[in-house]
Amino acid sequence: MLKNYFKIALAVLRRRKFFTFISLFGISFTLTIIIVIAAFWENITSAGYPDTNRDRSLYINFVMQENPKQNGMMKGPASFYYMDHYVRSMKTPEKVAISSIFTATNTYVRNKKLLINMKFTNDQWWDVLEFKFLEGKPYTLQQIRSGERIAVISEDTRNQYFGENEKCVGRYIETDNIQYRVAGVVKSVPITAPLIYADMYLPYTLSKNDYRDKSINGMYSAILLAHNSDELDKIRSEYQQVVLKVPPQNKDYTKISSHADSYIESFTRMFSRKSDSSGLAIVITGAVIVILLLMLLPTINLMNINISRIMERSSEIGVRKAFGASSGTLAVQFIIENIILTLGGGIIGLIFSFLILSAVNNSALIPNLTLTINFTVLLYAIIACLIFGFLSGVYPAWRMSRMEVVNALKVR
Amino acid sequence: MIHLENIEKLYRTDTIETVALHNISLHIDKGEFLSVMGPSGCGKSTLLNIIGLLDVPTRGQVKIDNQILGNMPDKKLARFRNQKIGFIFQSFHLINDLPVMDNVELPLLYRNSTARERRRLASEALEKVGLSNRIKHFPSQLSGGQKQRVAIARAIAGSPEIILADEPTGNLDSTMGNEIMNILLTLNSSEKSTIVMVTHDETMAKKTHRLVRLFDGSQVQ
């Protein structure tokens, strides 16, 4: 039976080449977009170099100050003082990595402009994150405190500034007219991990902004490493207690809120205006709506094509019914045919996705990014194909099954 | 075998009511070869569709093998058609996307038979109509007569007791028409199939056991 359906499906596809092309193009193009988005999502959200301890880490990216009288709010990263004074004094985390958002500076190498993104960190940064040192070592607490002009640079920066695979520990790198001695070289991190990515890591004491400034908001975020994943809730509740004790600095902005979040929530929180909402639900809802809209277009297109194909195949429908196919059997046949078509589109989509992801990985568009079609993404793709096939087949199949045999056989 | 009692078929629109069949009562014995004649639009095909359970009468009763088949649900009706009835249509109604063998196997797909069993029965049916050498051909590669022979093979592949033929020679020249008629006569005599054939051709009708004539939806002979 299935073999027969398969033969018919292929024959129909061959007969209507243009419609087949339109259908397959719609399905494969949409699936490609979904798979590429899913691969990006997977890459961003799952633990990877050097943030390998994500299952026992919490992230503080935002501190919000609210003005309840005027319904106003200020939200952004915290100051170094806030992180160092309130967060680092917490008892439950094993370690606290503090780092600034990255800032761009320019330098010139052999008359060529080189953009360097700098990030200022504390010493525990190097303990919480498992950077691979290709050469040298991280800067120490003592070096930070003494304000030594020292830096850890990425492999890409080394290659561009000093030359490919050149030894550079102990040598100087100049940016913004300041010379820094290179303490170490680490394997580069892609920009898709913005909390961690930089071309050059420097002690926070070298920042032009005064790290002793007692403002609440600033340019720093923190990663809180727990002894094990069971202690994350303890850290969360201790942090809430800490936040309650932070004194307001402005007489109008009296309410201060901040959360120690999972990696994803630490980003989605920026979409939320409420202090108690992580924004994850908003982002997931938005993503689902976008994906559904993306899928809706080829589904409606395929549905339309299928309905027009019903008239063309009414003789076959009539004959099948006359010889013993029930309406249900015919509906199932039509849905299976559609699923075959969409799976075909799915395979083409997978090939396209593979080519696009390879192109992204090999291009200089996002350096050091490695996107892959893994099993989770593949599973999403197959489910999407089946939903496509099912949705675009059900309505036409229902219309077809209602067709009277006598009328179906009249159409020649 | 087939018993029709006071069959009436009306087609209604908002403004007009058309009588397609009026008070038809007919009994067809097992193994009988009956032909139905009449001018175009007299209700011949409607009658055949009602016998074949493809259409339902407005009034009256259809009995096959003493079973009343009025309000059978779709699934049971489909199974009944599959087991008992084979259809031959004037315009063949072969599935152009499938080769001859798959077309003939069609009724067997809706039974619990294995692929090997289906192939065997379809091959036997094709042999009976003399088309064993055309199993891989597609309908578009066959002549009209050959297409109708494939349609006959499809109708008999599942060994139904009843064969309903709606102008099976209508689209064929006289030589091919005679060829098809001979196949039907052989089926009737050797397989004891009950055949009801709608035709416009008096010569063909005279070869059958009994002739029923319709005029304006009523039986006149």
Name all domains of chain B by residue range, CATH numbers in brackets.
Answer: 30-55+72-211 (3.40.50.300)
B25 vs A44, which has greater pLDDT? B25
Put simply, the answer to whether B78 touches A319 (Cβ < 8 Å) is no
Q: Which of B54, B91, B154 sits opposite A406 (nearest CB)?
A: B54
Which residues in A lie closer than 8 A to residue B111 (C-beta atoms)? 324
What are the tokens at A16? 């209507």
A292 touches B: beta carbon within 8 Å = no
Q: Report, as an integer, the average pLDDT of B46-50.
A: 93
Per-residue model confidence (pLDDT) at position A1: 67
Residues of B with CB under 8 A from a CB of A: 49, 52, 54-55, 74-75, 78-79, 81-83, 86-87, 89, 91, 93-95, 97-98, 102, 105-107, 109-111, 115, 154, 158
> For residues A98 and A121, what is the distance between their CA atoms, to the nearest angstrom?
5
A7 touches B: beta carbon within 8 Å = yes
By the 8 A CB rule, do A258 and A78 touch?
A: yes
Q: What are phi and psi of A399, to 5 degrees?
A: -60, -40
In 3D space, the residue among A201, A156, A160, A163 whose CA is nearest the CA of residue A182 turns out to be: A201
> For residues B131 and B134, what is the distance between their CA atoms, to the nearest angstrom?
5
Shortest CA gap B93–chain A (Å): 6
In 3D space, the residue among A189, A214, A210, A209 whose CA is nearest the CA of residue A199 turns out to be: A189
Q: Which of B55, B93, B115 sits opposite A319 (nearest CB)?
A: B93
SS3 state of residue A75: strand
Which residues in B lie closer than 8 A to residue A412 (C-beta atoms)? 91
Rg (CA), chain B: 17
Per-residue model confidence (pLDDT) at position A328: 86
Per-residue model confidence (pLDDT) at position B5: 92
Q: What are the b/e assignments for A354-366, b being 16+ CB within 10 Å?
A: eebbeebeeeeee
What are the tokens at A84? 């160092």
Shortest CA gap A384–chain B (Å): 29
In 3D space, the residue among A213, A194, A189 whose CA is nearest the CA of residue A59 turns out to be: A194
A387 vs B3, which has greater pLDDT? B3
Q: Which of B97, B98, B107 sits opposite A323 (nearest CB)?
A: B107
**Within 10 Å of residue A401's Cβ, how many Cβ atoms?**
19
Q: What are phi and psi of B27, to 5 degrees?
A: -125, 130
- Closest alpha carbon within chain A to B95: A316
Per-residue model confidence (pLDDT) at position A45: 82
> For residues A289 and B151, what is the distance between their CA atoms, to the nearest angstrom?
51
Q: Where are the beta strands (DSSP E) in A237-342?
A: 255-258
CA A81 to chain centre: 30
Hunting for tokens 């920042």 — which residue is that? A207
Shortest CA gap A324–chain B (Å): 4
Has residue B137 got a pLDDT over 90? yes
Has residue B152 got a pLDDT over 60? yes
Put simply, the answer to whether B95 touches A412 (Cβ < 8 Å) is no
Which residues in A lie closer than 8 A to residue B98 (C-beta atoms)? 4, 7-8, 11
Put simply, the answer to whether B93 touches A405 (Cβ < 8 Å) is no
Cis-peptide into A50, omega within 30 deg:
yes
Mutate which of A16, A17, A316, A319 to test chain B, going by most B C-beta atoms within 10 A?
A319
Q: Could you give the C-alpha distances from A166 to A183, A188, A287, in angstroms and in order?
A: 14, 15, 44
- Give the pLDDT of chain A (412 residues) as one tens digit per residue: 677 777 777 777 777 788 788 878 888 888 888 888 888 888 888 888 999 999 999 999 999 998 888 888 888 999 999 999 999 999 999 999 999 999 999 988 888 889 999 999 999 999 999 999 999 999 999 999 999 999 999 999 999 999 998 999 999 999 988 999 999 999 999 988 989 999 999 999 999 988 999 999 999 999 999 999 999 999 999 999 999 999 998 888 889 999 999 998 888 887 776 667 777 888 888 888 888 887 787 778 778 887 877 778 888 889 999 999 888 888 888 888 888 888 888 889 889 999 999 988 888 777 778 888 767 777 877 787 778 778 878 888 887 777 888 888 875 5
> For residues B174 and A188, what is the distance between their CA atoms, to the nearest angstrom?
86
Shortest CA gap B178–chain A (Å): 25
Which residues in B lie closer than 8 A to residue A315 (C-beta atoms)? 93, 95
As beta bridge partners, residue A222 has A60, A98
The dihedral of CA A350, A356, A360, A361: what is its sign?
A: positive
Which residues in B lie closer than 8 A to residue A323 (C-beta atoms)? 81-82, 86-87, 106-107, 110, 154, 158
What are the tokens at A38? 């899913």
Put simply, the answer to whether B107 touches A316 (Cβ < 8 Å) is no
> For residues A153 and A150, what is the distance between their CA atoms, to the nearest angstrom?
10
